[in-house]
Amino acid sequence: VQFTHADLRLPLFDEDIEINQGFPAGVVTLHAQIAAADAVVIATPEYNKSIPGGLKNALDWVSRIRGNPWRDKPVAIVSAADGRAGGDRSQFALRLAMVPFRAAVLPGPEVMVADSSHAFDDAGMLKDERYVRALTELMGLLRTEAQRWKAAA
């Protein structure tokens, strides 16, 4: 399994930048990474009951380039938050933000890591076996959907 980490450190979306300077290199790279991927995992914290502004900004930028890289692409969403709900509202907001792209967002199992500051060991591994099982199942389903999507492409 090959994994590519996307860099979401992009300038704030501004159509004037797009018109006057073209798309920033980081936006073009992100669009190409999504297009080339067999599947995408979006891991998000919850900021003020929603997704972080940087994630929404990246979605907005990518949507401006011709050719929808998300169309029918398998996408898994995971979240972690210090609260007891583990980012449930950020997952809801992200699912809503993904609707226009027509991605194949997996419905579950939902992986929402609560009390995130205590949920991982020193090596960054989840400590709670329930989260490990849910994440393992979600990644298995994503792998299956990615294989199906790739075969159909």
Q: In a structure prediction context, what are the per-residue pLDDT tens digits for the chain, which is 153 residues long?
A: 789 999 999 999 999 999 999 999 999 999 999 999 999 999 999 999 999 999 999 999 999 999 999 999 999 999 999 988 999 999 999 999 999 999 999 999 999 999 999 999 999 999 999 999 999 999 999 999 999 999 997
Token representation of residue 91: 């997952």
β strands within the chain, DSSP E = 40-44, 74-80, 104-105, 111-113
d(CA 74, CA 72): 6
Instruction: Report pLDDT for 87.
Output: 93
Residue 84 φ/ψ, nearest 5 degrees:
-80, -10
Single-letter residue type at 128: D
Helix (H) or strand (E) holding 34: helix 25-36
